[in-house]
Structure 1
């Protein structure tokens, strides 16, 4: 810790002297004039110390002083904060393509295979082609209708298990049950098979989602990344290895089935992606076929699984909660 403090002190002095020298130049002064109003910042950490335990409230208080569009420096990251519907419309609709890309964060390096999925990749031709491919091959009306029988089967199994638990007067974790059904549906749509008892992909994906939502100081003060002061990088690497091992097994099994000519199921989403990568079928996604590789496939699959399990289960949880709070509405269903 002592060595770290000494290094921080030396670095602070260096940065402070450079900033003072740069601030006196005309170019720097012209650049500052283009930025929205900003609260005063500290060396290295910028305005991070002003966020507090409830950042949304802290930002609201700052917006009352500096306006609905203000600039901040979160560590080394220049940031624009919007605090009004009009400002949000300006950034998210009028100039949406300019701000379409996500910021580069450490979690995308380890848990999105270097931002090769949809969630963290930069806005551009690759993102557009992947999004188009996933929509047509997985989320189109035709594809959704083709999975209707599977969804009905999974829901019937859920209802039967709930009835059995009710008759036995057992306590049921509805959230866990719903998440299990969503997980099974997702695997059947992507891999053509149900949950595999050999591994617990849901638990590992859950850890990945938690890591993606944690405040990581290294995203704002990059030189701290090598020190891993929060222990997050180690967790990310371990989770990445665990996910990669499972996805490699699943992909290898699909490749072996396809090469042997004894496919046990209809062509699923993973099969379509592999055929696109190998250019073994005539496809409308020729542009994507030149961009996609095995790593891209794993990144896309992980993004879809994370989004499907987390988002769908959470939405159903809240829907059930609201129905329980409004019995009159529930009786109409």
Structure 2
């Protein structure tokens, strides 16, 4: 009896000692780590209470108080927030391999079939294979040149649509809808040859589906940060997510069956993206065997990434020009001098339009396509002397970097002339100058940046050349950002428009 009683006392004491020892070890390990500065957090939620529905703005406010490197705990997820060009350089260049993985958000992963595509795939052999395929067969210079006639056709269609809606005089135009349709049609034709008179309704259906996907992906989802919420749909996102994925999957199954039957060639014999993916899936010598899920996920990546980045950049650039009529006129004078009024501005004209390029750079500085470059550390590393443990979510705030007074004079002013001055002329946005990285940098930079820029340059040039623009319902366009993790506008871009050239030089 005494032995039993002794065991009853001994076991709890041993448990307390073991737990205490583990706690002490954990605390000692935490003390050894030199983490970046961190504000005071709360139990369970960590620092989630410090974030608004526009996370990059919240990160910006915190960086002003605590410095350009910040350690946060969002629920159960340890995070590093970097808010300077020098920090971005260390993460994306000096320590690039350590931060080469993607954070797997629930909604994005679900749409991408568990990371079966390219953008959200884990770093490894499959991702490297898809990267090589993407840059050599889809978005490399040779393929983009082959698809130039498609981009030109859709640019003319955009110009004609804008003209038809405003030819009776200055009328209100839903520019967001027009630009979304333009970009979606380009991507739809390049990806699966779907732009024809019989598929106009289908193209519109695809556009609405993609818009819904992008909207859902921009939501801050508590399920990504607090484990228990993975099983509850408190925000009502799961049902929307499942409905849209079901529609997308049905559409892709139909298109893939039609491709199998027709071989899916364009009229001039050029293969679209789906043709190439399907051929690769049947290639017994390919490094990786592509599945149907891989193909569907890649198509999702192209639509979601391509449409969102291009349309967002176009909207912000036009809005800034409307709010700065003197800059709009200067860009128009340049186009009139170089291109004239008898033909439509073309992609080949852009190298001779330095001020138009400066306008685009300045717009991307203030309104980066990706306000947060998101990575995940795959191993422990050091950034600026601070320890970054493995499996840390990393947020590089390009929105803050573009507003850094240490990098930019009068950082909140829209002043394209800064990119025509000595010292800034050579700054570009392709990932080599870390004070301007709207498309990211390094291995996991946006693969569609060249296509996005071609669409942005030609569409903005055409709208400047062919139409007079004004704010709808006021003197200036509302520049408020939307409640999203992306850089969406708070409101759709509605503008007044009137033809400047009549008839349009659609050549």
**TM-score normalised by the chain length of structure 1:** 0.82
Q: Which moved more, 1:214-223 or 1:184-193?
A: 184-193
Give 1:241 deviation, angstroms: 0.8
Instruction: Identify the residue that residue 172 of structure 1 maps to in structure 2.
Output: 173
C-alpha contact 2:265 2:272 (8 A) present in aligned 1? no
Pair 42,322 (structure 1): closer, same or farther in 2 beyond 3 Å: closer
How far is the alpha carbon of 1:293 from its aligned partner? 0.6
Q: Residues 173 and 47 from structure 1, CA distance in 2 versus in 1: closer, same or farther, beyond 3 angstroms?
A: closer
Matches within 5 A, 1:1-333: 21=20, 24-36=23-35, 37-52=37-52, 55-56=55-56, 58-60=58-60, 62-63=62-63, 66-169=66-169, 171-194=172-195, 196=199, 197-198=201-202, 200-258=205-263, 265=267, 266=269, 267-279=271-283, 286-288=286-288, 290=289, 292-324=290-322, 325=324, 326=327, 327-333=329-335
Q: CA deviation at 1:173?
A: 2.4
Q: Detail structure 1 runs of 4+ shifted over 6 Å in the superposition.
A: none
Distance 1:63 1:323 in 2: 30
- Which of 29-38 and 93-102 deviates more? 29-38
Identify if the C-alpha distance between structure 1 residues 185 and 67 changes in structure 2 by more than 3 Å, giving closer, same or farther.
closer
1:130 Cα deviation from its structure 2 partner: 1.0
Between the aligned partners of 1:312 and 1:220, the Cα distance in structure 2 is 29
- Alpha-carbon shift at residue 221 of structure 1 (Å): 0.5
5+ residue gaps, structure 2, are 1-15, 336-507
| Cα distance change, pair 155–86 in 1 and its aligned pair in 2 (3 A) | closer
Q: Which moved more, 1:192-201 or 1:298-307?
A: 192-201
What is the deviation of 1:182?
1.6
Q: Tell me what 2:437 maps to.
A: none
State the match for 2:429 in structure 1: none
1:68: Cα distance to partner? 3.4
More displaced stretch, 109-118 vs 34-43: 34-43
Distance 2:126 2:250 in 1: 25
Maintained 8 Å contact 2:109/2:120 = no
Aligned residues: CA RMSD = 2.6
Contact map agreement 2:192 2:273 (CA 8 A) in 1: yes
Change (3 A) 1:56 1:142: closer
Q: Any idea what the Cα deviations from partners look like across 1:192-232, whole Å, max 9, x if unmatched?
A: 23063246011111111111111111110122111111111
Taking the aligned partners of 2:61 and 2:157, their CA distance within structure 1 comes to 50
Q: Look up the SS of the partner of 1:287 in the other structure.
A: coil
For 1:268 and 1:91, the matched residues in 2 are separated by: 35
Query: Which shifted more, 234-243 or 312-321?
Result: 312-321
For 1:51 and 1:171, how far apart are their aligned partners in 2?
Answer: 36
Report the secondary structure of 1:225's partner residue. helix
Q: Deviations over 1:254-301 (max 9, x none)?
A: 01223xxx9674332101110110127x7xxx213x2x1100000000
Deviation at 1:21, TM superposition (A): 4.5
Higher relative contact order (CA 8 A, sep 6+): 2
Mapped contact 1:204–1:243 kept (Cα < 8 A): yes
2 CA distance for matches of 1:61 and 1:222?
A: 27
8 Å CA contact 1:23, 1:29 repeated in 2: no
- Structure 1 portions without partners, runs of 5+: 1-16
> Offset at 1:79?
1.1
How far the C-alpha of 1:77 sits from its partner, in A, is 0.5
Structure with greater strand share of residues:
2
CA contact (8 A) 1:35 1:71 kept: no
Superposed CA offset, 1:33-62 (max 9, x none): 214143333221112123346655554554
- How far did 1:141 drift? 1.7
Give the structure-2-normalised TM-score: 0.56
Give the Å deviation of 1:144. 1.4
Aligned to 1:7: none
Distance 1:168 1:58, change over 3 A: closer
| Contact 2:266/2:272 (<8 A) preserved | no
Which residue in 2 is equivalent to 1:11? none
